[in-house]
Amino acid sequence: MDKTQLGHIKTEISNGIATLEFYHPSHNSLPGKLLAELERAIYELGKDDEVILIVLESNGNRTFCAGASFNELASIENEVVGKRFFMGFANVINAIRKIPKIVIGRVQGKAVGGGVGLASACDYCMATKYASIKLSELAVGIGPFVIGPAVERKIGLSAFSQLAINATEWKTADWAKSKGLYNDVFDTTEQLDEYIKHFSEKLVTMNPEALKLLKKVFWEGTENWDSLLEQRAEMSGKLVLSDFSKKEIGKFLSA
């Protein structure tokens, strides 16, 4: 079975709140197919007049997002394919950046690599105490290049550097909150969902034009990200072809 074809993207809209869910059986990893569907769904919700804000979440309780699909990474055979794969994450981050709607992140469990990038791209992000984070890219010979601008923008260069260099150790949800990635951390998923419901229902009563302008202000200075993230995707697309990366990705898949 081709695991890159598994998973789903689901959207529900109620009272101005759009819930955008992604799922993949491999710890909510994101192969190119799902990334493209997620990007498309974000743009569609951004243009929907019924939608005032978006809640981005994943299915299940254990892992928010395990980042890139290692099965797909292992199958990359040339730089063109490599760049195209990493552009998947670039395009999703840019979609969140460009739409005129506030995006709230719901992080119920661990976030790795691209999962940290998704959480960082959200305008407001809440999590449980189980939502530890790790940027593991360097451990497989790549580096968090594509998601780096989003992570650095949210938590600062120093904290991003810690995550990028210390690629094998987890940082706790409280650490992530102290650096500004998470706005609130809750003991249980039930508490997280209860507060997100309360917070979202309150936020949709605010002036929608003010929310749109806030979104624009939040992302000032990122106008070059279309070209910047493309350059970063090209860097990662080359590195993933190195003997080091091929060896380490192979170890991960055989573990």
pLDDT digits (tens, 9 = 90+) for 1-12: 566 678 999 999
Which tens digits make up the pLDDT trace of 67-89? 988 889 989 999 999 999 999 99
Torsion of CA 170, 174, 175, 177, to 10 degrees: 120
More confident site: 20 or 254 = 20
Full set of structural domains in the chain with CATH:
3-193+201-206+224-254 (3.90.226.10)
The average pLDDT across 188-213 equals 97
- CB-based contacts of 9, cutoff 8 Å, min separation 6: 20, 21, 22, 23, 34, 37, 38, 41
Question: What residue type is assigned to position 157 of the chain?
Answer: L
| Contact indicator for 71, 34 with CB cutoff of 8 Å | no
Closest residue by Cα to residue 118 from 158, 64, 45: 64
Q: What is the pLDDT of residues 181-197, one digit of tens each?
A: 999 999 999 999 999 99
In 3D, which of 50, 51, 59, 57 has the Cα closest to residue 24?
A: 59
Q: Which of 55, 127, 136 is nearest to 96 (CA)?
A: 55
pTM to 2 decimal places: 0.95
